[in-house]
Amino acid sequence: MKDIEFKLDSTDIHPNSEIKGIISVSYPGRYDGVVINTQILDSNEHIIYKSYNGKNISQNVSRLFINKDIMPENKAEFTALIKFEPKQEHEIKFRASIIEQHKEIESQIIFAKYSI
């Protein structure tokens, strides 16, 4: 098993539909947390993270760091949203990474499709 497992409920995403994901860490060493970076290819738009592990996020963030201290059983669940209406289909690159002392230990990438 890899040190990080990352899954999305669906890789077919539409405007204003909730995006749900889960990250599981089995890294045997010490780490600070996980970070999720997302890029909407061929666009200047951003994804907006709404919550993680049941805790709402009050400000709009496009990059999400989840501290290990709030990851029960080394798992993190998150929800996010994309609001803009696409004129074309976009590919979305999700990258979840384990972070230790500001360094990336391991990551996993998932590609999704964003369209109307």
d(CA 61, CA 65): 10
The pTM for the full model equals: 0.90
Any bridge partners for residue 19, and if so which?
80
Phi/psi for 73 (5° steps) reads 55, 30
Q: What is the pLDDT of residues 6-26, one digit of tens each?
A: 999 999 999 989 999 999 999
The single-letter code of the amino acid at 100 is E
Domain range summary for the chain, segments of one domain joined by +: 4-114
What CATH code would you report for 4-114?
2.60.40.10
Find out whether 31 and 68 touch, Cβ atoms under 8 Å. Answer: yes
pLDDT single digits (tens) 31-69: 999 999 999 999 989 899 999 998 998 887 778 999 999
